[in-house]
Amino acid sequence: MEPYKSQIGQPVSRLEGHLKVTGTARYAGDYSVPGLLYGYVINSTITKGKIISFDTSRAKALPGVLEVFTHENRPSLAWFDLQYADMDAPPGSPFRPLQDADILYNGQPIGLVVAETFELARYAATLMDIEYEEEAFDTDLRSQQHLARSPKIGMATMLKPLPPKPKGNFEKAFNASPNQVSAEFFHGTEHHNPLELFATTTVYEGKGKLTIYDKTQGTINSQMYVANIFGLKFKNVRVISPYVGGAFGSALRPQYQLFLSVMAALKLERSVLVTLDRHQMFTFGHRPPTVQRTRFSADNNGIITALNHLAIGETSRFEDYTEVVVNWSHMLYPAANTLMQYKLVELDVYSPLDMRAPGGVTGMHAIESTIDELAHKSKIDPLQLRLTNYTEIDVSLNRPYSSKELRECYLQGAEKFGWDKRNPEPRSMRRGNKLVGYGMATGIWEANQLPAKAEAILTGDGKLKINSAVTDIGTGTLTVMTQIAADELGLPVEDVEFAYGDSKKPFAPIQGGSFTVSTVGSAVKAVGAAMRKKLFSIAKKMKGGVFDGADLKDVSFEGGRVFITNDRSRSVSFQEIIAANDNKPVKLSKFSVPSILKLKKYSRAAHSAVFVEVEVDEELGVINVTRAVTAVAAGKIINPKTARSQILGGMIWGISKALREETIQDDGLGKYMNQNLSEYHIPVHADIHELDVIFVDEKDTVVNELGTKGVGEIGIVGMPPAITNAIFNATGKRINQLPIHFDMLL
Amino acid sequence: MLTELTEPTTLKASQPVNLVVNGTPLQLNLLPWVSLLDALRDYSGLTGTKKGCDHGQCGACTVICDGKRVLSCLSLAVSKDGSEITTIEGIAPEGDLHPLQKAFIEHDAFQCGYCTPGQICSAIGMMKEGKAKTRAEVKELMSGNLCRCGANTNIIDAIMEVQNQSVHE
Amino acid sequence: MNNFTYKRAESIEDALAQNNSGGNSSYLAGGTNLVDLMKYDLTRPDSLVDLNRVDGHHEIYETPEGGLLLGAFVTNADTAWHPIVEERYPLLSKAILAGASAQIRNMATNGGNLLQRTRCYYFYDANVPCNKREPGSGCSAIPGYNRIMAILGTSESCIAVFPSDMCVGLAALDATVHVEGPTGSRSIPFADFHRLPGDTPEIDNTLLPGEIITGIELPANGFSKNYSYLKLRDRNSYAFALVSVATGLELDGNVIREARIALGGVAHKPWRVREAEEFLAGKTADAASFGQAAEIILRGAVGFPHNAFKIELAKRAIVRNCMMALDPESQLPGAQPSV
């Protein structure tokens, strides 16, 4: 028998790949259900005010239109805010669709047409006669900055710590420093725009039972939300979501198509599919616009002396959405004097929502641009400045990092990129009529772990099945969990089935924040270990006494057998164990909980160093990111193939944030003007050039049993500042508003 | 879990639409405002073709119609009466994979997989057009297919590999 | 999308007759713009007359006069990649390939390309004032976000731009549009086909009600030796132009015999200024001459708060594209800037 090859660390191709390339992977809107009805949402056309009258009669008169739900005829629902709160709800009162006549933001869902066909529902939705009473509104963050206030504190603050307390005397130290930089940054609104339109297919099973195919990053989150609001028993609400067509945070909270689909299904006692259109994809959460001001200083040796970072973010009138924007600089740079401030402005918009590296990508752009400018002013190489200020401990909280191979990231990344060929003088490097610029930046993202449960079943054929409610939003969860489980029992990947995306399965939290592998993976590892123990205990009792006198530590699991590590002849197959178990599958589950006491002693974060080359057409301003290298230290990489794709995806998101995507807002009208993929520019293939990823070895025995830190976010955070710094090197222009339009360089 | 399909109840303006989809004749009765995309997804149970925008802005709905890659969302099904359509479900014989499908898996040319059917159908159409030789040309002629996960480099790698193979064969 | 009747025309005569039945009817060809507008409920025809299967007008052929006739129902892709177009009218080929995406070009027809509506955000939002969509309601783009709007030929009623790339090429090449209508057939010089908004921005062009474009005729000279199309936009492909330029040059050594320059993305129609082309005749083909021509072309341009950059950008783009035309081989996929 060939020795078992550890699956962890192998570039296993996605196990669901076959389904995705053949079109057989079914997403939330792909279920053909007998008698399915189609819902089409009606949205407010005003920004703020009240609905005075809502006449649906023209639509209802159409044969095939079953109902038009509005605030006037919706079924009575749960009363308390808490019942509407989901796992990702910020402090405040969650938005309640069709609650009353009040309009809180432009595009608010105010009705649902339900008809026999999609086409009919869509047509009927155009036949509404609605009168509004409009009120004055404010949607412009920049003009309302004077109203900035501290955020309310709530459950969400646990994963999103408030800014650290000030240290030393910032003003004094800043003013005394020979090298000072002050800068102001503005980031506009962005929308997640996963390619899949949000959809929910609610299958009405009768007797208050529902099976719901939902686009979500948390099956149990959706289940809980539906059960609470509609007063259903948890066991009667099953949410299934194995394939999610991208989410990037947008499906961390249940969106209104879920509410409307379930409401209609319960009321009409029929199965209902509600799919949002692309325009409606701009009518819920978004990355908030943010204003930032930084003031950093250094002495003549390049030692950073003082850091001040202020961020003012947008939130809605009904919830205090917060993100971690200003905490990062002091985690990276051990200045003795700091002042970090974070504030919110309420505007007439929907609540913002976590979007890939929420806060981190916003804050790090400001931080790493300011550091670059500080290096420029101090006449120190930007990489050298970062190495000079390198710290092994997180000074902001005075605790060591559980692991930190950022220095290796800097060095390996610089080597691969050819950083030594950079001329620090702006506009000094050229290629034909194009200016060439090199820029670099640091990335950081916290490594968290949440509680999760997993179930393992070993069947008579010697195969292992693992159950978890977790989703796979395209990150590779299925594949990675399978690899982790395979290793625990020494099985080939083919003999392990990971079943997921179903609220009936053991608890997993929402999938986000780069914590899924650490969270669910730890549970899978724990249940795998428990299974080993159980199998061995059965095997020990088997006739023949193969394992007499042996302990669990003396045996190994490989290729479907348990054997004495030093004597392979003493072995028992999994099949034999199950046979000895009266042919009953061995089934057990395990809850994995982070060791808070241990973790509290450390700061835990993934790091990256990003190096970018840009070409800028000197006369026309056209910008291309021609090359980029990201070196990542994110602990153990379970699957280098899918992890690399995560980093590449993050890098492309970074290119997009720096140079492409923006939600255009007309504050006079109080609405977004480019609610489509034609004018909301996400990168096309022609925008993307050479991208390189390095995974730096990093051992971490603290973060979790697997030593993983997550790779969903770390790919994006350093990219925008590396790009803007490269543009500065190319052109001498420092543009602190994203995205940078090429005409800003004219 | 395909089940029987529901006929729309408002059939009065419906008209017969005959398509050959993946080699199989399909006789549908459709209202004139049903798009080819919805005809495939809602009326023929072929949900492999995806709706990402429904307005010709993303390429997820790309199918091959009479040998050419087109956007099924902007095509009225009635207007395509008599056409031969190939969708992602029909690009390879049952149980087999098209070289592009294999290359997409191997190169990890997708994450969420939602744009994938459109990317693959588009790439098949592009290779048939025979106009893209260099990587830069392939990127330009594949730019009608958006990928939000950022699998772009892997997608182009996969296509280049298959294109180079077919050139050498 | 509203409900409509669908009729398939067998011939142009049949189409004209079917469209004559009264009511608010539209012709359907590629559908890439019309179906989109219908889905947004911005246009609501009672009936569609499908022209895709009319007999004739599906070919490209050389005319006895030495020019080329592009059938109205030939797709943009088949036109761009037609061997004669590639050889004799490469400027048109490049312009077409700079527009939309490969899939859309496989659907969109030549006739339809001329009839695209604007991509102004405010035109596309049925809930805000727009004189083009709803005459007399006002223009939201002037006080609003006007980065993508026009800088030339605007009016107080409308600052929308016409989005086609192909038409910028056709304008430079002096094409002629052939139409057939209820009162017979006629030919429209390309420069007269699209119009400026004035007080009636709801009217995009000079086509009369019921008329059908049957073909586009190119004159003999295709400027096939020295030509270039440059498109500047917010991403490298699949985006509308902020500024685009079509250039065709006839050279005697390094002296310009004849020049054609048309701009896209700056006005309610492709923008051509004959005075600038006449100025270039006899001048040395260099950046200085092209720069002076650019000044003439942009004369009278007026920027708005978010698009004033287009004036300088257009000037630079003209110079660059004319320089690129001196070395057409340097052109990159997607009409991106080169040389």
Average pLDDT on C156-162 reads 98
Mean pLDDT, residues A218-225 taken together: 98
The CATH number of the structural domain formed by B99-168 is: 1.10.150.120
At residue A267 the predicted structure's pLDDT band, cuts being 50, 70 and 90, is very high
Exposure on the CB side of residue A682, measured as CA atoms within 13 A = 26
| Binary contact (A682, B148; C-beta < 8 A) | yes
Residue ranges covered by each domain of chain B: 15-90, 99-168
For residue B87, which of B115, B48, B114 has the smallest C-alpha distance? B48
Q: Residue C109 is encoded by which pair of tokens?
A: 């027809």
Contact B148 A248 (CB under 8 A): yes
Which chains neighbour A (Cβ–Cβ under 8 Å, 3 or more pairs)?
A: B, C
B105 and A641 within 8 Å at the Cβ level: the answer is no
Give residue B167's pLDDT band: very low, low, confident or very high (50, 70, 90). low
Where in the sequence is the domain holding C38, given as residue range(s)? 5-50
Is the pLDDT at B168 greater than 80, yes or no? no
Residue of C nearest to B64 (CA): C103
Given a contact cutoff of 8 angstroms between Cβ atoms, the answer to whether C265 and C161 are in contact is: yes
pLDDT at position B2, please?
Answer: 33
pLDDT band at A240 (very low <50, low <70, confident <90, very high): very high
Contact yes or no for C1 and B33 at CB 8 A: yes
Distances in Å between the Cα of B71 and the Cα atoms of A30, B85, C103 are 19, 12, 6
Cβ contact, residue pair A679, C121, below 8 Å: yes
Task: Answer whether C40 touches B (CB < 8 Å).
Answer: yes
**Which of B5, B52, B156 faces A197 most closely, judged by CB atoms?**
B52
The confidence score (pLDDT) of residue A156 equals 73
Which tens digits make up the pLDDT trace of A408-449?
999 999 999 999 999 999 999 999 999 999 999 999 999 999
625-664 of A, contacting B, C-beta below 8 A: 641-642, 644-646, 648-653
Whether B145 sits inside 8 A of A21 (CB atoms) is: no
pLDDT tens, position by position, C274-292: 999 999 999 999 999 999 9
Q: For all residues of chain A together, what is the average pLDDT? A: 97
Model confidence at C22, pLDDT cuts 50, 70, 90, reads low
Q: Which of residues A79 and A623 earns the better pLDDT score? A: A623
Question: Would you state the pLDDT for residue A154?
Answer: 81
C179 contacts: CB under 8 Å, gap ≥ 6: C185, C186, C187, C188, C207, C211, C212, C213, C214
A126 touches chain B (CB under 8 A): no
Distance (Å) from the alpha carbon of A691 to chain C's nearest alpha carbon = 17
At residue C37, does pLDDT exceed 50? Answer: yes
Please give the average per-residue pLDDT across A42-61, as a whole number: 98
**Which positions ≥6 away from C163 have C-beta within 8 Å?**
C116, C118, C119, C240, C241, C264, C265
Amino acid B134 reads T
Whether pLDDT at C128 is above 90: yes
Calpha distance B169→B26 (Å, rounded): 35
- The minimal CB distance from A119 to the residues B3, B33, B156 is found for B33
Contact partners, residue A167, CB within 8 Å, separation at least 6: A330, A335, A336, A337, A338
Q: What pLDDT score does A479 carry?
A: 98
Burial of B122 (0-12, 13-18, 19+ CB in 10 A): buried
Confidence of residue B5 (pLDDT cuts 50, 70, 90): very low
CB distance from C125 to chain B under 8 Å?
no
Residue A604 touches partner B, C-beta closer than 8 Å? no
- Of C4, C100, C333, nearest to B136 by CB-CB distance is C333
Region B52-57 average pLDDT = 98
Question: Quick check: C339 and A432 CB within 8 A?
Answer: yes
Do the chains contact at A684 and C143, CB–CB below 8 Å? no
Cross-chain residue pair A678–C235, CB shorter than 8 Å? no
Least Cα separation, residue C142 to chain A (angstroms): 12
| Angstrom distance (rounded) from CA C123 to CA C161 | 11
Say if B15-90 and B99-168 have the same CATH topology: no
Q: What is the CATH number of the domain that holds C44?
A: 3.30.43.10
Hey, how many other C-beta atoms are within 10 angstroms of the C-beta on C45? 18
- Distance between CA A37 and CA A24 in Å, rounded? 22
What distance in Å separates the CA atoms of residue B108 and residue B154, rounded to the nearest whole number?
A: 6
At A692, which helix (H) or strand (E)? strand A690-695
Domain count within chain C? 2
Domains and CATH numbers, chain A: 17-24+450-593 (3.30.365.10), 37-136+194-277 (3.90.1170.50), 144-190+286-448+600-745 (3.30.365.10)
For A527-574, the pLDDT digits (tens) are: 999 999 999 999 999 999 999 999 999 999 999 999 999 999 999 999
Asked if the model's pLDDT at residue B8 lies above 60, the reply is: no
Beta strand spans in A512-640 (E): 555-558, 561-564, 567-573, 586-592, 605-617, 623-633
- Provide, as residue numbers in chain A, all residues whose Cβ is less than 8 Å from the Cβ of C316: 619-620, 746
Residue B12 — pLDDT band, cuts 50, 70, 90?
low
Asked if B72 contacts B61 with a C-beta cutoff of 8 angstroms, the reply is yes
In a domain, C130, yes or no: no
* Closest among C230, C234, C197 to C309, alpha carbons compared: C234
Give the model confidence (pLDDT) of A399-418 as tens digits.
999 999 999 999 999 999 99
Q: Which residues of A are catalytic?
A: 713
Give the mean pLDDT of chain C.
Answer: 97
What's the order of all strands across the beta sheet hosting A452-458? A496-499, A464-467, A452-458, A586-592
Nearest CB to B79; choose among C2, C31, C104 = C31
Q: What is the mean pLDDT of residues A231-254?
A: 97
- Are the beta carbons of B6 and A35 closer than 8 angstroms? yes
Does residue B13 carry a pLDDT above 90?
Answer: no
Length of chain B in residues, anyone?
169
A209 lies within 8 A of chain B by CB = no
Residues of C in contact with A615 (CB under 8 A): none
Q: Does domain B15-90 have CATH number 1.10.1660.10?
A: no
Please state, for a pLDDT cut of 70, what percent of chain A lies above it: 100
Q: Is A694 left (phi over 0), alpha (psi -120 to 50) or beta?
A: beta
B85 three-state secondary structure: strand
Say which of C122, C239, C316 has its CB closest to residue A620.
C316
Buried-state track B16-47, b at ≥16 Cβ within 10 A, e below 16: ebebebbeeebebebbbbbbbbbbbbbbbebb
CA of A22 to nearest chain B CA: how many angstroms apart?
Answer: 6
Question: In this complex, is the C-beta atom of C334 within 8 Å of any C-beta atom belonging to chain B?
Answer: yes
The pLDDT assigned to B10 comes to 45
**Residue A242 above 60 pLDDT?**
yes
The predicted-structure confidence for A121-147, as pLDDT tens digits, reads as follows: 999 999 999 999 999 999 999 999 999
Residues A304-318 have pLDDT tens digits of 999 999 999 999 999
Test the B interface: residue of C103, C125, C331, C332 with most B CBs within 10 Å = C103
Whether residue B4 is predicted with pLDDT greater than 50 in this model: the reply is no
The predicted model gives B45-68 an average pLDDT of 98
Compute the average pLDDT of residues A188-210.
97
CA distance C72 to C52: 10
ipTM of the modeled complex = 0.97
Q: Which residues of chain B have a CB within 8 Å of the CB of C44?
A: none
For range B140-162, the mean pLDDT: 98
Whole-number mean pLDDT of chain B?
92
Against chain B, the chains showing at least 3 CB pairs within 8 Å are A, C
Could you give the CA distance from residue C3 to residue B32 in angstroms, rounded to a whole number? Answer: 8
Cβ–Cβ < 8 Å for A408, A620? no
Q: Inter-chain contact C309–A617, Cβ cutoff 8 Å?
A: no
Please report, for the domain that includes residue C244, its CATH number.
3.30.390.50
Residues 690-719 on A with a CB inside 8 Å of B are 691
With an 8 Å Cβ cutoff, are B105 and A13 in contact? yes
The answer to whether the CB atoms of B58 and A14 lie below 8 A apart is no
DSSP state of A650: H
Question: Which residue in chain C has the smallest CA separation from B79?
Answer: C50
| Chain C residues touching B35 at Cβ < 8 A | 35
Give residue C21's pLDDT band: very low, low, confident or very high (50, 70, 90): low
Mind telling me how many Å the CA of A211 is from chain B's nearest CA? 14
pLDDT of residue B6: 39
**Cβ contacts (< 8 Å) between A25 and chain B: which residues?**
113
The torsion angles phi and psi of C68, rounded to 5 degrees, stand at -135, 135
pLDDT at B9: 40
A185: nearest Cα among A289, A109, A292, A316:
A292
Contacting A residues, span 375-434, partner chain B, CB-CB under 8 Å: none
What is the pLDDT, as a whole number, of residue A199? Answer: 98
